[in-house]
Chains A and B, each alone.
Chain A
């Protein structure tokens, strides 16, 4: 008789067995080589722990009062920067995303727009900010230009993916009425991508505010400048206050934007 036990096993995540074992081997050799090549100075870390403790205790209690003017000014500057940069960024992204949609643009425009997107996505906001601060001088204008340019990479990429997914028959119906190209985009394409468009704008507003907190560190204005000044003056209580303010504003912005996105859907 058949006395073999039937044992059920879970299906593996990767079906191909060779690939699975190969991946595991690859990952373990990689981890090994990382540990062999990274120099970690344990001595320094042991030294650093009490120092780190002092450092963290220096943040308490957060001091909102002494520099309250600067904190407020920094926050408002960040907000203006965020709003202007998001709007400018989106305005530039619209033609780029139309160009980067395979179903609309001719090959040449498509590759050009994809190139713009890749370039804008490759560089972190901070690196871009270093260059724009160098070109345009310190202050919120450089920060605004940085944020608008990095908005393009994000916004145009996601929007163009949505444009590629539109319902063709609707667009064709508009075309069959004899509309020109602009009318076709306005009545055939735009209404279909509008929900995504609004959602992405709100999301990007949220991201831009968060990023505006860092580009100030390299001279781009806003709350980041306040934070950097506080660090430079060793006023860690003020720095803690700035960090708390950033966290709470991000929480508020995130909550409202996710709420708004749900409302729109």
Chain B
């Protein structure tokens, strides 16, 4: 932070001249990239629709109010299904993620050259394919319904939990393992008494966090036919029954806020 001397007084500046120029260049390049990208998007946009969108929005809101409240009763089963998709999917996902995480962590993997890249590849491909795309594939295989949703959410959760878990395994305290080793423990005992207690808190918080995310994800897998409240949403949008759609949206908000509240409670109780 230099003090710059101008003609007859000193003034303080945050950065010196070189840093200022660098910052300016970064901003310039950033703005250039942004405007270039925006130009490309804008060339593919029909601006008439965009400028008209507030009228459309008002019209839509008008159709959504008042919400058809008695429709809520038929929603109870889809909401229950959505919760189940999230919960069972998370359970399956975390159960598969545990061995994968041990295989891909640097300090526990049986072979760094062969198995670790393979396990990492499983984790990354599970992470990069969104649960809706998984559901799209699975609906074709196991048929539309809750099961496809459960498997889709499960497959998607593997990558997330696996990644966070193997990072947690890599960060464990080696001294504790050495202490267990010194008692003459075999490999399985080292695992249960040396490694597992250290990653258990991370594991619980990761799975709770993923469950919270999965509630949200489970609301959309239904859009491609994989069960839950998404099926209902898709059907009502298709019917242009906006008064029912608003009830569904309200139900989703309530479910998400509820799940957030419950995860906060569980986190406080356990950790």
With beta carbons under 8 angstroms apart, the residue of B45, B141, B219 that contacts A51 is B141
Assembled-state Cα–Cα distance A14/B38 (Å): 52
B44 touches A14 (CB 8 A): no
Chain A residues whose C-beta falls within 8 Å of the C-beta of B87 in the assembled complex: 30, 34
Q: Does B9 interact with chain A (Cβ within 8 Å)?
A: no
Distance to closest chain A CB from B234 (angstroms): 9
A127 touches B124 (CB 8 A): no
1/0 contact string of B82-126 vs chain A (CB within 8 Å) = 001001100000000000000000000000000000000000110
- Cβ proximity bits A44-83 to B, threshold 8 Å, 1 near / 0 not: 1101110110011000000000000000000011011101
In the bound complex, residues from chain A placing their C-beta under 8 Å from that of B41 are 77, 80-81, 84, 140-141, 144
Q: A122-B257, A139-B45, A251-B124 are in contact. Are A40 and B147 (CB under 8 A)?
A: yes
Q: B143 at the A/B interface (Cβ < 8 Å)?
A: yes
In terms of DSSP, what is the predominant structure of the interface of chain B?
Answer: helix
Interface centre among B42, B130, B257 (most CB of A within 10 A): B130
Residue ID in chain A nearest B144 by CB atoms: A44
Cβ of B40 < 8 Å from any Cβ of A? yes
Least CB distance, A57 to chain B, in whole angstroms: 12
Given A135-B56, A213-B130, residue A250 in contact with residue B46 (CB < 8 A):
no
Q: Are A243 and B129 closer than 8 Å at their CB atoms?
A: yes
* B200 interfacial contact with A, CB 8 Å: yes
- For this complex, 6 residue pairs linking A to B, each with C-beta atoms less than 8 Å apart, are A34-B88, A44-B142, A77-B40, A123-B253, A135-B57, A136-B45
Which residues in A have their C-beta under 8 angstroms from that of B40? 76-77, 80
B198 at the interface (CB under 8 A from A): no
CB distance from A198 to the nearest CB of B (A): 12
| Seed contacts A13-B204, A34-B88; 15 additional CB < 8 Å A-B pairs | A37-B84, A44-B145, A55-B137, A83-B34, A118-B257, A122-B216, A124-B217, A127-B220, A127-B233, A130-B237, A140-B41, A140-B45, A213-B133, A227-B133, A250-B128
Say whether A211 contacts B130, CB under 8 Å. yes
Q: Find the A residue at minimum CB distance from B203.
A: A13
* Interface contact tally, CB-CB below 8 A: 152
8 shortest A-B CB distances, which residue pairs?
A52-B141, A137-B49, A250-B128, A80-B37, A141-B45, A44-B143, A135-B53, A122-B256
A40 and B146 contact, CB distance less than 8 A? yes
A22–B80 CA distance with the chains assembled, in angstroms: 22
Does any Cβ of B come within 8 Å of A104's Cβ? no
Indicate whether A161 reaches chain B with its CB closer than 8 angstroms: no
Question: What chain A residues lie within 8 Å of B137 (beta carbons)?
Answer: 55
Most A Cβ at <10 Å: residue of B56, B124, B142, B216: B142
Which listed residue, B37, B53, B133, touches A243 by the CB 8 Å rule? B133
A137 proximity list for chain B (CB < 8 A): 45-46, 49-50
Least Cβ–Cβ distance between A211 and chain B, in angstroms: 7
Known interface pairs A52-B142, A137-B50. Does A124 touch B128 (Cβ–Cβ under 8 Å)? no
Q: Among the listed stretches A93-101, A163-171, A214-222, which one makes contact with chain B, having 4 or more residues with CB under 8 Å of it?
A: A214-222
A134 in the interface (beta carbon within 8 A)? yes
Interfacial chain A residues near B56, Cβ < 8 Å: 134-135
User: Of B53, B130, B219, B253, which is within 8 A of A210 by CB?
Assistant: B130
Verify B130–A214 contact, CB threshold 8 A: yes
B136 CB-CB contact with A under 8 Å: yes
B80 contact set on A, CB distance < 8 A: 37
Residues in A neighbouring B88, C-beta threshold 8 A:
34
Taking a contact as CB atoms under 8 Å apart, the answer to whether B81 and A187 are in contact is no
